């Protein structure tokens, strides 16, 4: 089975549409969204609508949880909080109900999907580094062969043994049985790795291969919508830079 996995769409319908179009050439059997459908961008309903139809399941992200009233986000910085407040007013009743029922985690066989670290799921902890990934050795017995995460907006992969963690520096690699993996799939709608293209990934469960992919999209249109919505201008400006 070929699984199309993506995350952190952040209400960017231009990026999401480009990713859907790119997936069409990948012979995808199933799609999974790892959360943060909303937040930052100008098209929350449009992104919810397309993902609800596309994905076999969607994981709850922290921005989704905030908009759906499932977490306190009063400590978020002002601009992020204002975007979430706006989205909570804009979302249709159907899309709001959908967000309210998204799971923190889904496990399918030896594969796990969650938005942040698999430790303390409701805390949405980040995994940016080998040091942070090393904490997952504490839950070795609960880890599947592969854990797919989002949240960091970075494309990063970590291979774990019982006593070592290292970063896998490759855009495509084989999942080896002697390791366990934590793979951060990047961001569709707000990449932060200095590559402004939307990120999406393909996991082949038969060939045991994983690949990061990128696609360009109409950043100018996405940014102009953010400006028109009177959201924080940096939410639009940073799209051009991929930061």
pLDDT digits (tens, 9 = 90+) for 114-125: 999 999 999 999
Q: Could you give the CA distance from residue 8 to residue 131 in angstroms, rounded to a whole number?
A: 23
Say what angle helices 78-90 and 233-241 make with each other, to 10 degrees. Answer: 100
- pLDDT value at residue 145: 97
Q: What is the pTM of this model?
A: 0.97
pLDDT of residue 224: 99
- The CATH code of the domain that includes 14 is 3.60.21.10
Structural domain count, the chain: 1
**Beta-strand pair 146-149/111-114:** parallel
Residue 94 confidence (pLDDT): 99
C-alpha distance from residue 73 to each of 47, 62, 67, 192 (Å): 21, 9, 9, 22
Residues of the chain falling short of pLDDT 50: none
CA distances from residue 131 to 52, 116, 142, 167 in whole angstroms, order as listed: 35, 15, 19, 10
- Answer yes or no: are the C-beta atoms of 241 and 228 closer than 8 Å: no
Range of the domain at 62: 2-241
- The pLDDT value recorded for residue 26 is 97
pLDDT confidence of residue 143: 95
DSSP assignment of 93-158: HHHHHHHHT--SEEEETTEEEESS-SSSGGG-----SHHHHHGGGGGGGG--SEEEE-SS-SEEEE
Q: How confident is the model over 50-83, as pLDDT tens digits? A: 999 999 999 999 999 999 999 999 999 999 999 9
The pLDDT assigned to 121 comes to 98
């Amino acid at each position: 089975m070929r699984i199309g996995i993506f995350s952190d769409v952040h209400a960017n319908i231009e990026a999401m549409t480009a990713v859907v179009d790119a997936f069409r050439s990948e012979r995808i059997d199933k799609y999974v969204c790892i959360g943060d459908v909303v937040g930052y961008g100008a098209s929350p309903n449009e992104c919810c609508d397309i993902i609800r139809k596309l994905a076999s399941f969607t994981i709850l992200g922290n921005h989704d949880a905030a908009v759906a009233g499932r977490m306190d986000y009063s400590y978020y910085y002002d601009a992020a909080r204002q975007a979430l407040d706006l989205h909570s007013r804009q979302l249709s009743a159907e899309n709001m109900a959908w967000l309210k029922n998204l799971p923190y985690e889904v496990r399918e066989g030896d594969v796990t999907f969650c938005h942040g670290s698999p430790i303390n799921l409701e805390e949405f902890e980040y995994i940016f580094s080998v040091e942070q990934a090393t904490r997952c050795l504490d839950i070795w017995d609960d880890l599947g062969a592969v854990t797919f995460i989002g949240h960091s907006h970075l494309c990063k992969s970590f291979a774990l043994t019982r006593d070592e963690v290292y970063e896998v520096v490759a855009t495509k690699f084989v999942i080896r049985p002697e390791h366990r993996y934590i793979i951060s799939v990047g961001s569709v709608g707000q990449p932060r790795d200095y590559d402004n293209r939307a990120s999406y990934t393909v996991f082949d469960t038969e060939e045991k291969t994983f690949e990061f992919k990128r696609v360009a999209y109409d950043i100018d249109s996405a940014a102009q919508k953010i400006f028109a919505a009177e959201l924080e201008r940096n939410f639009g400006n940073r799209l051009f830079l991929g930061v």
